[in-house]
Chain A
Amino acid sequence: MAFGSVKEILEKCTKDNIEFWQAVIHDDITERGTTEEESFEKMRIMWEAMVSSADDYEPDIKSNSSLVGGMGGKFEKYSEKGESYCGDFVGEVIKYALEMGENNACMKRIVAAPTAGACGVMPAVLIPVFKRNMADEEKIIKALFTAAGIGQVIAERAFIAGASGGCQAEIGSASAMAAAALTFIKGGSNEKITFASAMALQNLLGLVCDPVAGLVEVPCVKRNVIGAMNALSCADMALAGIGNIIPLDEVIDAMREVGESMNVNLKETGCGGCANTPTGIRIKKELMGEE
């Protein structure tokens, strides 16, 4: 049975004297009737797919609608000049977030984490960490289990689809998962992991899902950037010893409440927010006209 709360995961960790990621993998073994090796290997395949998707990026192609494409390449060139505000590491995170979002829009292979629209957040933070030897492959995979455990609780208690709960459910969840992974990698305690995750989700509460012309392109690609950046700052805050007043389970419940009270125009219908701006409406008309 999937965990119904983060509290349950933490209790299992204390009771069995195991780490967060172990509680998650143990649960997966019972749930899917498999072995620890198989489950670990399966997660390794997810990681490999993230890395190979990053390698697959082509700066010269556009999506079908031509709304996105090339931003990752542009950002990389800019960042290499060394004049950005964000610096080398964060610059690379932004670049990967854009590239993954664009890969998805351009019908390339990605790993939904937790959804296709939010596929850029996890790899955007993990690939730069991996490339700088801040974590080896084994550690990254354990971090992915940590993140997946949190995502699973979010899916149980609330939702992870924009159509159900707005973008807070997609990018917000991805950001909460990524914050947990980053905190784990730097040796943060279980408590710090949940603080980082709670902060990340809390910061994105209320984010609406408003894709222009209903396509996972605008504002989705750039939302991956905010999801990744937010994860970095929240992980660093937690590692600095900053806690969060509202516990993670309660932040998840709040996300659900906010999502349920959100107007359907703001839940992936492509009728509100950015989609409903004069420009958004014009683009939709133009694209429909083509069909």
Chain B
Amino acid sequence: MNIFDIMGPIMVGPSSSHTAGAVRIGLITKTLVGGNVKKADIGLYGSFAATGKGHGTDRAIIAGLLGMQPDDMRIPMSFVVAEKEGLKFKFENVNIPNAHPNTALLHVENEYGNICDVQISSLGGGRILVNKLNGIEVNCSGEKPTIIVRNIDKPGYVAEVTSMLASKNINIATMRLHREKRGGEAVMVIEVDEKINEESIKWLSSIKGVLNVTYIKG
């Protein structure tokens, strides 16, 4: 923890896990789907469901989906802002077996009709973990620049992606591979030390067999 995790962050109260973390859940979901979020179905689990209302968890998640940062004074009024910006949303309490006690499930749609399903937990101190993206386990925090590559599960993709990063002088901090089933869809979650430019992301997307590339700036 650096000293500004101790003296800081500046945030809208009352809780780093249930409010600041909830804003970050909304923010990262917005990044993952891209563009402006127009529709969101949100499920709250565990302590989020039990004490979320008192902590403003619902308003915080919506604030994040609208692109507000955890210190944005408009968080308490985010429902009003959502109405103005045409974001329709719905909350319900859900049960997710074996999930972290502060977890949200989001099904969101952006202005172009792109859809994204995520499961994200708030770990405390404002830190979060994306558990699942479109049904596949990714377990990334989004603190570092992160590339999420969805591809067809065939040999060679990992080498292609990593050699491209090497050629751009980008150092990989961590890398994890997940897949649904053999020959199905696979996901690479790559955390890197430096920010990546748009052109490299485009290049990655153009590789044959790569279905989709998402970049989280960190």
Given contacts A28-B2, A116-B15, 10 further A-B contacts (CB under 8 A): A46-B10, A105-B13, A108-B12, A109-B73, A112-B11, A116-B13, A116-B14, A152-B1, A215-B55, A270-B51
Q: How far is the CB of A184 from chain B (nearest CB, A)?
A: 14
The verdict on A64 contacting B6 (CB below 8 Å), with A107-B19, A216-B14 known, is no
Cα A213 to Cα B18 with chains together (Å): 14
Binding site for B on A (CB under 8 A): 2, 24, 27-28, 31-32, 42-43, 45-46, 49, 63-65, 103-117, 119, 122, 144-145, 147-149, 151-152, 155-156, 160-161, 163-164, 177, 213-217, 270, 287-288, 290-291
Cα A119 to Cα B5 with chains together (Å): 13
> Is A151's CB under 8 angstroms from B6's CB?
yes
When distances are taken between beta carbons in the complex, the residues of chain B under 8 Å from A217 are 14, 54
6 A-B residue pairings within 8 Å (CB atoms): A104-B14, A107-B59, A107-B75, A113-B6, A217-B14, A217-B54
Cα A98 to Cα B6 with chains together (Å): 21
Chain A to chain B: the 7 pairs with minimum beta-carbon distance, closest first: A104-B13, A214-B51, A151-B6, A148-B3, A216-B14, A148-B7, A215-B54
When distances are taken between beta carbons in the complex, the residues of chain B under 8 Å from A45 are 10
Q: How far is the CB of B67 from chain A (nearest CB, A)?
A: 17
Which residue of A2, A111, A145, A149 is within 8 Å of B10 (Cβ)? A111
Cα A122 to Cα B73 with chains together (Å): 22
> Is A213's CB under 8 angstroms from B51's CB?
yes
Chain B interface category by residue count: 20 to 34
Chain B, residue nearest A56 (CB): B73
Q: How far is the CB of B44 from chain A (nearest CB, A)?
A: 10
When distances are taken between beta carbons in the complex, the residues of chain A under 8 Å from B124 are 161, 163-164
Cα A103 to Cα B11 with chains together (Å): 11
> Is A110's CB under 8 angstroms from B11's CB?
yes
Which residue of A27, A63, A112 is within 8 Å of B9 (Cβ)? A112
Cα A43 to Cα B3 with chains together (Å): 9
> Is B14's CB under 8 angstroms from A215's CB?
yes
Q: How far is the CB of A141 from chain B (nearest CB, A)?
A: 10
Q: How far is the CB of B186 from chain A (nearest CB, A)?
A: 34
Cα A111 to Cα B124 with chains together (Å): 16
Q: How far is the CB of A42 from chain B (nearest CB, A)?
A: 6
Q: How far is the CB of A269 from chain B (nearest CB, A)?
A: 8
> Is B6's CB under 8 angstroms from A110's CB?
no
Which residue of B16, B50, B75 is within 8 Å of A116 (Cβ)? B16
Chain B, residue nearest A162 (CB): B124
Chain B, residue nearest A149 (CB): B3
When distances are taken between beta carbons in the complex, the residues of chain A under 8 Å from B142 are none
When distances are taken between beta carbons in the complex, the residues of chain A under 8 Å from B16 are 112, 115-116
B8 at the interface (CB under 8 A from A): yes
> Is B1's CB under 8 angstroms from A155's CB?
yes
When distances are taken between beta carbons in the complex, the residues of chain B under 8 Å from A110 are 10-13
When distances are taken between beta carbons in the complex, the residues of chain A under 8 Å from B1 are 2, 152, 155-156
B74-117 contact mask (Cβ, 8 Å, vs A): 1 or 0: 01100000000000000000000000000000000000000000
